[in-house]
Amino acid sequence: MCDVDEEYSGQMEVREVPGVVKICVKCKENTAALVIRAGDAFCRGCFKEYFTHKFRAMLGKNRIIFPGEKVLLAVSGGPSSCSMLYQVQEGLSLNAHKKLRFIPGIVFIDEGGALGLSAEERQRTTADLQAVFKATGFPYHIVPLEQVFNLPSSVLEPGSSAPDQPADGYKAAVDHFISNSHKKHVSPEKQTDLSQLSIQEGRPDESSTQALQRLFSSVKTLTAKEDLLYTLRRHLLVHTARSEGYTKLMVGDNCTRQAVKLLASIALGRGAQLGMDAGFSDHRYNDTVTVRPMRDYSAKEISFYNYMFKVPFFFIPSLDTKMPDKASIQRLTESFVTKLQADFPSTVSTIYRTGDKLQTVCPAQKSLAVDVADKCLLCMCTLDTAAEDASAVQATLISEQLSQKKHTSGGSNIGSPTLTTGQCCSSQEEKGRQSCGGTGDGSGTCCSSDKVPQTLELKSLLCYSCRLTIKDMSSVEDLPDYILSEGQKRKNRSEMRQEIREFLLDEDDDDN
């Protein structure tokens, strides 16, 4: 054993602890400025080249956006979408190595009305974003969320898809675009004049803002509110793209956001729609294809890039701002993934790569021929409720039906918001009021039966996940008119089809 009084004449050796790699892994010369992952240290120049190459390689590999095509950039003001806007701006500059060949536009959805923000706060946010949009030189559209109450019902109908391109169609389109660019040379002065085009939508009126707040007040849970807000925002983006002539819609969902969305969608019952919700391209609207070029970037990479190259972005509050982790399924999933990512750095990439291997119930190339009646009224995905009797969906629906209370002795009226089966609205009114003229004998002749679709009838037009969202609403009457009118149209079309069903030819007979 060592003696306490023993004296050591020699010096103790100090063990050197290995530090972070300080040389760039790409150029092997410059000092590294950041470390993305373990062993991936980049200098400033190599990181910018790596970031830019990944964005353009994602677009070039998929070959969805053709030269000369109009692309609408959905910018929310956050780090990911602003970084996407900066990449497009850099790709269209004159000194770009491989220039982007599409025609961009910008759209921003002002969601302040749903969040209860004051008019001054909303105007301050839009003014800051407007300054950034003007600096890009792209035409921009600032659309308040209240515009959903003015949308036509055609937004819930898939448009006519473009004809299929041949295998070498992309290369031929590139050659044609380059040849036309040489023939039609535009002077720098003319380019400046074209870039000054900017569009801004009018401010919402007070009645629309109150209707929007009344709609979100009727939703009971934050989970359903976030899902409804996402659906209304997507409808407004698609309508803006269609009305302005854009055929592609580019969103800034990054890898971290996609991983959170994938797990949250499974928890919300959207397992059958994961391929469209998390894939690179989304063809559910046929004529307006949604693309996600930022899906290979992690939130850490985007934060480093924005900080190092001074990319402006803004913090805009959302529905889950300052909410606890258990406030909603989306918020809890985000907290779970981010905390797990801190201890296990491969969490996000593992979830993200797993999502790439998933397929939808109806693939993209076959979904173009799906009838409108077979698509969800809200999310426009193929209905997943027509499953086998022994499936989990059918078991859940049967359990829900058996747990409902029976309102009348004649039968149960599952999910009816106002009326009960066999009861006229005039019987619920006070005595002395004028009757609606209905019989009230259960024959369905009540005047109010044709005004607004009941919840049961609306549920039959929705997928399983959207049914859960509608279930958390106290009344469906607060939904925008274009949703209710399209639901009534599909209901009438289905009833008519049932009446003439015996006179219709089956598809198998038609093929023979």
Question: 487: phi > 0 → left, psi -120 to 50 → alpha, else beta; which?
Answer: alpha
The mean pLDDT value of the chain amounts to 79
Q: pTM for this structure?
A: 0.81
pLDDT tens, position by position, 237-286: 999 999 999 999 999 999 999 999 999 999 998 888 888 888 899 999 98
Q: Tell me if 497 is assigned to some domain.
A: no
pLDDT tens, position by position, 115-161: 989 999 999 999 999 999 999 999 999 999 999 999 999 999 887 76
Average of pLDDT values for 3-9?
Answer: 55
Which CATH number does the domain housing residue 142 bear?
3.40.50.620
Q: Tell me if 347 is assigned to some domain.
A: yes
Q: Tell me if 415 is assigned to some domain.
A: no
Q: Among 232, 258, 219, 239, which residue's Cα sits nearest to residue 80? A: 258
Q: Tell me if 382 is assigned to some domain.
A: no
Q: Tell me if 272 is assigned to some domain.
A: yes
Give the number of domains in the chain. Answer: 1
DSSP for residue 271:
G
Query: How far is residue 138 from each of residues 59, 60, 66, 99, 294, measured CA to CA in Å?
Result: 20, 22, 19, 16, 20
Give the range among 40-49, 199-208, 349-358 with minimum mean pLDDT: 199-208
Taking the chain, what is the end-to-end CA distance rounded to the nearest angstrom?
97
Q: Tell me if 17 is assigned to some domain.
A: no
Q: Is the pLDDT of residue 8 over 80?
A: no
Q: How far apart are CA 63 and CA 81, in angstroms?
A: 21
One-letter amino acid of 485: S
Q: Tell me if 229 is assigned to some domain.
A: yes
Centroid of chain to Cα 179: 37
Helix (H) or strand (E) holding 349: helix 347-356
Q: Which residues 6+ apart lie within 8 Å of 225 measured at CB?
A: 216, 219, 319, 328
Q: Among 2, 479, 426, which residue's Cα sits nearest to residue 214? A: 479
Q: Which residues of 369-404 are buried (b: 16+ CB within 10 A; e: fewer)?
A: ebeeeebbbbbbbbbbbebeeeeebeeebeeeeeee
Helix (H, G, I), strand (E, B) or coil at 31: strand
pLDDT for position 293: 94
Q: Among 310, 305, 321, 298, which residue's Cα sits nearest to residue 225? A: 321
Q: Tell me if 85 is assigned to some domain.
A: yes
The share of the chain scoring above pLDDT 90, in percent, equals 46
At 430, the pLDDT band (50, 70, 90 cuts) reads: very low
Helix (H) or strand (E) holding 133: helix 119-136
Average of pLDDT values for 397-410?
Answer: 63
Q: Among 102, 99, 98, which residue's Cα sits nearest to residue 72? A: 102
Helix (H, G, I), strand (E, B) or coil at 72: strand
One-letter amino acid of 183: K
pLDDT for position 407: 45
Q: How far apart are CA 315 and CA 77, in angstroms?
A: 7
| Residue-number span of the structural domain to which 67 is assigned | 44-162+186-374
Q: How far apart are CA 156 and CA 376, in angstroms?
A: 9
Q: How far apart are CA 75 and CA 108, in angstroms?
A: 5
